[in-house]
């Protein structure tokens, strides 16, 4: 399971300029397909949705979609892909952070609720599966369990030995990321949990990775033999690379989730403050109306012609003196 660390004398330092460009047509095909789907939704599906009385694809939806497609392209193409797979595990960890957490969240933010209902009809088999998988306990266990398994040394080595296994693992962590975000920002509002519960949920998502990240940070030997090669990019040693990977996994991912928690809490606090102010105003208006009714005060806005005529009828007419 452990491999011996390469001796410093045998290490050869290389720079990014020493890496030859590698074509990744499978990545280009994927990105073109994703952009094509987005174009089809915007140009073909959206007009029909608007005609049916549904909301349009907003500018925010389009921005999130382009951000997700661009991030996926950068994280999966040369040179990030090649550096992550052949030289530096901390770059590989950053790549996984994008694929498992950031990009799934962007894609969910890019999807209008009516598009989700169109693609996955309510009460269909896929809808029921997603409903169960999006429950906080299930989504959290799947996301963190899969993350822990994929950082086991034998599984990491399998991803390098088998291209098919490598892509299946990336697809799995991407799907688990989608499920992880559904209770927080999912397009089905009924599936979302309360804001304060969201904060607790995301905090737990940031705590669980502590175990595998600590394993990388405090390891005294090479954990992944694939990265114990002779060529070291930018002179980063094997153990330093592992420690940086642990830092990325724990601190970078953790700080991102904590930032989301702060935003959710701030929005909840503002909304709660507005609701409390509205309730106080409503109670004050009710007390004022009750006091007016008790004192017999009539609002000028409710005074009608019949009210005035009735008041005049209660009194004798005034006779002007004759000359």
Residue 292 pLDDT exceeds 90:
no
pLDDT above 70 covers a percentage of the chain that reads: 80
My answer on whether omega of the bond before 79 falls inside 30° of 0, hence cis, is yes
What residues have CB less than 8 Å from 188, skipping those under 6 apart? 113, 116, 134, 182
The arithmetic mean of pLDDT across residues 75-98, rounded, is 93
pLDDT in tens, 206-244: 988 888 888 889 988 888 888 886 578 888 899 999 999
What residues have CB less than 8 Å from 143, skipping those under 6 apart? 100, 176, 177, 179, 180, 205
Q: Give the C-alpha separation, 124 to 106, whole Å.
A: 25
Between residues 234 and 172, the one the model is more confident about: 172
Of 13-22, 37-46, 274-283, where does mean pLDDT reach its minimum? 274-283
pLDDT for 3 equals 41
pLDDT for 160 equals 86
Q: Give the C-alpha separation, 90 to 92, whole Å.
A: 5
Q: Where are the domains of the chain?
A: 11-277
What residues have CB less than 8 Å from 26, skipping those under 6 apart? none
The confidence band for 80, taking pLDDT boundaries of 50, 70 and 90, is very high
The arithmetic mean of pLDDT across residues 147-162, rounded, is 89
The arithmetic mean of pLDDT across residues 149-155, rounded, is 89
Residue 273 pLDDT exceeds 90:
no
Q: What is the mean pLDDT of the chain?
A: 86
The arithmetic mean of pLDDT across residues 147-168, rounded, is 89
Residue 205 pLDDT exceeds 60:
yes
> Angle at the Cα of 173 (from 253 to 22), degrees rounded to 5?
90
Closest CA to 6 of 184, 183, 242: 242
| Residue 215 contacts residue 223 (beta carbons within 8 Å) | yes
């Amino acid at each position: 399971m452990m491999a011996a660390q390469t001796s410093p004398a045998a290490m050869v330092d290389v720079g990014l300029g020493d890496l030859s460009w590698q074509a990744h047509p499978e990545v280009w095909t994927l990105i073109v397909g994703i952009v094509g789907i987005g174009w089809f939704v915007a140009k073909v599906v959206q007009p029909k949705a608007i005609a049916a009385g549904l909301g349009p694809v907003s500018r925010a939806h389009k921005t999130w979609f382009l951000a997700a497609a661009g991030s996926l392209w950068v994280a999966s193409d040369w040179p990030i892909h090649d550096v992550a797979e052949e030289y530096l595990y901390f770059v590989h960890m950053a790549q996984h952070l994008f694929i498992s957490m950031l990009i799934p969240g962007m894609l969910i933010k890019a999807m209008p609720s009516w598009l989700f209902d169109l693609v996955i009809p309510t009460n269909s088999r896929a809808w029921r599966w997603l409903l169960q998988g999006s429950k906080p306990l299930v989504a959290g266990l799947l996301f963190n369990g899969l993350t822990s398994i994929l950082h086991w040394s034998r599984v990491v080595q399998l991803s390098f030995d088998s291209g098919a296994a490598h892509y299946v693992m990336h697809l799995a962590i991407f799907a688990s990321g989608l499920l992880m975000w559904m209770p927080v920002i999912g397009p089905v509002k009924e599936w979302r949990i309360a804001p304060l519960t969201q904060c607790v949920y995301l905090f737990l998502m940031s705590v669980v990775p502590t175990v595998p990240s600590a394993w990388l940070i405090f390891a005294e030997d090479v954990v992944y033999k694939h990265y114990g090669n002779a060529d070291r990019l930018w002179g980063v040693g094997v153990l330093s690379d592992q420690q940086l990977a642990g830092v990325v996994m724990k601190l970078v991912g953790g700080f991102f989730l904590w930032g989301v928690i702060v935003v959710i809490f701030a929005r909840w606090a503002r909304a709660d403050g507005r609701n409390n102010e509205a309730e106080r105003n409503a109670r004050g208006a009710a007390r004022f109306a009750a006091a007016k009714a008790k004192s017999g005060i009539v609002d000028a806005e409710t005074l009608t012609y019949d009210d005035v005529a009735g008041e005049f009828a209660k009194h004798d007419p005034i006779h002007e003196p004759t000359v």
